[in-house]
């Protein structure tokens, strides 16, 4: 980034400070995130048992809602399946409820087949969305890098790639996709946008998404969307006949005014909000996937994103920039 060229002189610039204007409400929301009543709702208890099936085969004992509730509790409190089973048994005993609890084997088996309910994003009242897209890596089980460096053994460490789409106005995760570590970022733009209902006003991503496939996918979803992606330093205009496209305009503007002015003019600085969302996921949910199979890992990620959105709805800080006094 351009600001790195002036890193030796940036310590003379005062750091921008913010204060939270709704601290009492935000503090109450932070406490409510750990409340069991937030996760064990009356609706979950009412739909605990599975409806009777009229076709052949064994009758399921627990509904999909019960499996989702159990997996959500394990995700929120960072517990394995056996510990989740013990927590739910103790909670039901304290509540005086005669409700069966799915054992860890049932949770592991049902997690591979459970389908998350479709949670479509609703367009904002004041207009289309400003979508931020980025990806991050999540660790899996296997020998680590220390073993490879210490003993010379080949590391079995594998990664999964989590692709996220975030609403810039409220920080909510509106789409997600889990892939293997070799999947490139531009190929997942279309799967992410297919999960979003409503129009898109602006699509912002980093330079890894630069290229015609990304522009094509965004404009197919919303023909009037503004695509803000920094072109590579070696990028040149396409030279196509007709009016210049958005990418050509970005290249011409950067060549004329520089990248810093281009970032300020296009609102590229809001991309930091998805970095915040990724940090929130790794801090609250974890940097490592607990499930072993890919199907169960997809369910784990889907529940983790739903948990983050629910936590964010409980309490969201309203940060206001402080006025800096010049002496």
Domains annotated for the chain, with CATH where assigned, are 16-114+293-327 (no CATH), 129-289 (3.30.420)
Which pLDDT band, with edges at 50, 70 and 90, does 56 fall under? Answer: confident
Cα-Cα-Cα-Cα torsion 231, 236, 237, 238, nearest 10 degrees, comes to -100
Kindly tell me if the per-residue pLDDT of 82 is higher than 90. yes
Q: Which residues contact 89 (CB under 8 A, 6 or more apart)?
A: 101
What does residue 176 show for φ and ψ, rounded to 5 degrees? -150, 160
Residue 120: pLDDT over 50? no
CA dihedral 269, 270, 272, 275 (to 10 degrees): -150
Give SS3 for 28: helix
More confidently predicted of 117 and 160: 160
CB atoms within 10 A of CB 178: 19
Q: Which of 9-23, 246-260, 309-323 has the lowest mean pLDDT?
A: 9-23
Instruction: Return d(Cα 177, Cα 280) in angstroms, integer.
Output: 17
The confidence score (pLDDT) of residue 123 equals: 45
Instruction: Summarize pLDDT for 28-44 with one digit per residue, the tens.
Output: 999 999 888 888 888 88
Would you tell me how many other CB atoms lie within 10 Å of the CB of residue 279?
Answer: 11
Instruction: Report yes or no: 319 and 19 within 8 Å, Cβ to Cβ.
Output: yes
Contact yes or no for 50/114 (Cβ under 8 A): no
Q: Report the predicted TM-score, pTM, of the whole model to 2 decimal places.
A: 0.85
What is the pLDDT averaged over residues 143-161?
A: 68
Backbone angles phi, psi at 150, to 5 degrees: -80, -45
pLDDT for 241: 66
Reading the block at residue 303, the tokens are 């529940």
Q: Which of 51-65, 106-120, 146-160, 305-319 has the highest mean pLDDT?
A: 305-319
The phi and psi torsions of 102 (rounded to 5 degrees) equal -65, 135
């Amino acid at each position: 980034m351009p600001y790195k060229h002036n890193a030796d002189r940036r310590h003379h610039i005062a750091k921008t400070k913010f204060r939270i204007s709704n601290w009492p409400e935000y503090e109450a929301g932070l406490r409510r995130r750990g409340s069991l009543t937030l996760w064990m709702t009356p609706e979950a208890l009412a739909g605990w048992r599975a409806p009777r099936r009229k076709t052949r085969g064994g009758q399921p004992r627990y509904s999909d809602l019960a499996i989702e509730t159990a997996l959500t509790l394990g995700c929120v409190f960072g517990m394995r399946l056996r510990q989740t089973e013990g927590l739910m048994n103790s909670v039901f005993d304290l509540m005086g409820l005669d409700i069966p609890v799915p054992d860890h084997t049932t949770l592991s088996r049902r997690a591979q087949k459970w389908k998350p309910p479709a949670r479509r994003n609703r367009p904002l009242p004041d207009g289309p969305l400003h979508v931020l897209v980025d990806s991050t890596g999540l660790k899996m089980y296997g020998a680590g890098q220390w073993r490879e460096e210490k003993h010379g053994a080949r590391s079995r460490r594998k990664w999964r790639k989590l692709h996220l789409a975030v609403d810039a106005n409220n920080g909510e995760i509106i789409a997600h996709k889990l892939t293997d570590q070799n999947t490139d970022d531009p190929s997942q733009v279309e799967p992410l946008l297919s999960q979003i209902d409503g129009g898109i006003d602006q699509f912002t991503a980093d330079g890894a998404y630069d290229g015609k496939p990304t522009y094509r996918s965004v404009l197919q979803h919303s023909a009037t969307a503004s695509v803000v992606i920094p072109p590579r330093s070696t990028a040149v205009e396409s030279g196509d006949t007709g009016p210049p496209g958005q990418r050509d305009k970005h290249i011409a503007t950067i060549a004329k005014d520089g990248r810093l002015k281009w970032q300020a003019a296009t609102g590229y600085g809001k991309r930091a909000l998805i970095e915040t969302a990724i940090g929130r996921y790794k801090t609250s949910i974890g940097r490592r996937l607990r499930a072993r199979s890919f199907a169960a890992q997809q369910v784990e990620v889907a529940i983790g994103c739903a948990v983050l959105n629910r936590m964010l709805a409980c309490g969201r800080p309203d940060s206001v920039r402080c006025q800096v006094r010049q002496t």
